[in-house]
């Protein structure tokens, strides 16, 4: 039985990093006329009310997206442009998840495949994407669903893998799924989100990826404070396979500035590096 609900965490610092990376990749994909597929293995509800009981309970968005003023971030204009479409006033009351962000980049020829196991969130996701013929929502196992779709007919695509890691098996499942997916679709762009709660688990995942034979792997991480067992999620990041050529330059420039705004103390840090080269 799955209990994780992203509605408690929407708009937090981890979402900011994840969605900036996703937008950069999607902007790269639409630069070419060829169609592409967007596959989201753990799509969530798609849209979150930041004034809901869930969001207000932890108020994580106040230490995330709410700290960023659009006028200070011209290089993130597309991110704020999308946020604005879901907020009728200057006050931030709604936050779009990855599926709705992706839908802003889909053209008529592109497709989105959204998987969500939680029955309530799957229902909300269907409602939030209703009427869009480019999108298919499935209440199903995203790991198995992903493998069933590869390689996509378009031969181009972004695969987002971002489980909650509430289940410890997710760390193993992520690696095994990516390994199998890469063998079926080695030219796809894979974006793996991860939280740092226990650093050793992330170290193990990165080690497996480094020795997997997969090439072109980059890592982007923001830590609000130093690693500290028992303090919950202190950092979060994205591992990107087959990244767009400009992604490293963009994130290397952004992360120090984001750290200054989103970091909690002097022990905060960021990472922008290549785990595996060409």
Which residue, among 74, 19, 59, 11, has the nearest Cα to 191 in the 3D structure?
A: 19
Which residues are within 8 A (CB) of 272 and not within 5 positions of it... i.e. 6 or more apart? 218, 219, 220, 221, 248, 251, 252, 255
Half-sphere exposure of 121 (CA within 13 A, CB side): 22
Give catalytic status of residue 162 as yes or no.
yes
Q: How far apart are CA 271 and CA 261, in angstroms?
A: 16
Catalytic residue selected from 110, 121, 162, 173: 162
Q: How far apart are CA 208 and CA 214, in angstroms?
A: 10
Residues forming a β-bridge with 50: none
Query: What are the catalytic residues?
Result: 162
């Amino acid at each position: 039985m799955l209990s994780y609900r992203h509605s408690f965490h929407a708009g937090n610092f981890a979402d900011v990093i994840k969605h900036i990376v996703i937008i950069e990749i999607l902007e790269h994909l639409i630069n070419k006329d060829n169609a592409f597929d967007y596959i989201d293995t753990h799509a969530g509800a798609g849209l979150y009310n930041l004034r809901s009981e869930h969001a207000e309970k932890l108020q994580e968005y106040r230490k995330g997206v709410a700290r960023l003023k659009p006028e200070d971030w011209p290089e993130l204009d597309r991110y704020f442009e999308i946020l604005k479409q879901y907020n009728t006033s200057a006050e931030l009351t709604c936050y779009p998840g990855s599926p709705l962000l992706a839908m802003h980049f889909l053209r008529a020829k592109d497709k989105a495949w959204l998987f969500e196991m939680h029955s309530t969130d799957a229902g909300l996701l269907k409602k939030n994407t209703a009427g869009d013929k480019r999108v298919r929502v499935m209440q199903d196992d995203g790991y198995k669903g992903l493998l069933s779709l590869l390689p996509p007919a378009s031969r181009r695509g972004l695969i987002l893998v971002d489980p909650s890691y509430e289940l410890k098996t997710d760390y193993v499942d992520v690696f095994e799924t990516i390994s199998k997916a890469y063998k079926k679709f080695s030219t796809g762009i894979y974006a793996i989100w991860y939280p740092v709660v226990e650093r050793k688990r992330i170290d193990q995942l990165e080690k497996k990826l480094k020795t997997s034979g997969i090439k072109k792997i980059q890592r982007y991480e923001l830590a609000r404070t130093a690693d500290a067992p028992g303090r919950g999620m202190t950092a979060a990041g994205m591992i990107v396979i087959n990244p767009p050529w400009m992604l490293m330059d963009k994130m290397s420039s952004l992360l120090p500035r984001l750290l200054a705004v989103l970091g909690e103390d002097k022990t905060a840090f960021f990472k922008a590096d290549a785990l595996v080269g060409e």
